[in-house]
Amino acid sequence: MRHNSSATTVVRPVVLSRVPSGLWWGLLGVAAFSFTVPFTKVAVAGLSPLFIGSGRAVVAAVLAVIALALARQRLPRGVQWARLAVVAAGVVIGFPLLTSFALTTTPAGHGAVVIALLPAATATAAVLRGRERPPVAFWLITGVGALAAIAFASMQSGGFGQLHSADLLLLGAVVAAAIGYAEGGMLARELGPWQTVSWALVLASPLMVFLTMLSMAQQPPSATAVQWGAFAYLGVVSMFLGFFAWYRGLAIGPMAQVSQIQLVQPVLSICWAGLLLGEALTLSTIVGGLAVILCAGAAVRVRLKPMDKPATAPHAVQHDTRSLQPAKD
């Protein structure tokens, strides 16, 4: 047999060496998303929330079209368009618009605590969408986390049971994103992770262009360089590039561990709000944030534990997206 015969080729395993890389990519994505709430707060000081919520999606859609064209991605087919509409409604339209309006009247740190409910909400949406049967502990922990978020928002609004309109918008944003992420996680098995987000941006672009033009007609955008810089970050990073790092980390894996890095996001957002915006870290913010984050982490762990199975082939890590939970922008 010849020296260079293909029969003698030794395929060396590379999965173990890629594991740390997946964690680092996931952390990079979460770090990128952690600036979303503080920078939205900066942008709404000079730009209308409608312009911010829709305009950032238009910027990201332009980048998505370029990426899809360069990669020569095939068009989605049939019912995939309807499923993409669900993703677009949640993560392209619902979350950006609702958070933009909410942050006009509430501090960024407050918003970050309420949005910390997102990992548990996404896990719940994935359970319902996938018709899973998690243990009772999952529902109990998720319920406690939701109550903790509502209690925190109520106390910050003047008393228990008194939710501010901004809190209702933030809770609506969490629900919208959770549904969009759960459907996107399943659709990513067919279209690919970043392709799913890109096609959702393209699908929503006609509506977002219309809303952007409407906002400009109602209130011509006028902002400082810092506020325009914050808006640019929201469109380029929060709505687009951040997903590349996040989804790459999930694809490399281990997915269960990488997905839980998302729990770091609200902590970073609260820190950025204090450092960049000068918001005071009150005791209620710290306690409320820790309660919601701990409950979200416990819910994600309970859901993932009975499902984790050893992969039988290198490609198994890349196609198992049951725990696909993108951090929000």
Measured N-to-C along each axis, helices 108-115 and 165-191 cross at an angle, to the nearest 10 degrees, of 50
Q: Is the pLDDT of residue 188 over 60?
A: yes
Least confident of 158-162, 242-246, 279-283: 158-162
**Mean pLDDT over each residue of the chain, to the nearest integer:** 79
Mean pLDDT of 210-238: 94
Q: Is the pLDDT of residue 190 over 60?
A: yes
Of 238 and 296, the structure prediction assigns the larger pLDDT to 238
Mean pLDDT of 190-211: 92
Residue with structure tokens 């005791």? Answer: 283
pLDDT at 329: 57
Of 13 and 62, the structure prediction assigns the larger pLDDT to 62
How far apart (Å, rounded) are the C-alpha atoms in residues 132 and 307? Answer: 10
Encode burial over 112-126: b for 16+ CB neighbours within 10 A, e otherwise.
Answer: bbbbbbbbbbbbbbb
pLDDT at 302: 74
C-alpha angle with apex 317: 316 to 322, nearest 5 degrees?
A: 100
How far apart (Å, rounded) are the C-alpha atoms in residues 248 and 33? Answer: 15
Mean pLDDT of 295-323: 54
Least confident of 89-93, 109-113, 132-136, 241-245: 132-136
pLDDT at 4: 52
Mean pLDDT of 16-44: 80
pLDDT at 303: 65
- Percent of the chain exceeding pLDDT 70 equals 79
pLDDT at 213: 96
Mean pLDDT of 289-303: 74
Residue-wise pLDDT tens digits, 145-187: 777 777 776 666 555 555 678 888 999 999 998 888 888 878 8
Mean pLDDT of 24-53: 91
Mean pLDDT of 119-127: 78
Amino acid at 56: R
Q: How confident is the model at residue 214 (pLDDT cuts 50, 70, 90)?
A: very high
> 285-289 contacts: CB < 8 A, separation 24 or more?
285/109, 285/110, 285/113, 288/113, 288/148, 288/149, 288/151, 288/152, 288/155, 288/156, 289/112, 289/113, 289/116, 289/152
Residue-wise pLDDT tens digits, 70-103: 999 999 999 999 999 999 999 999 999 999 999 9
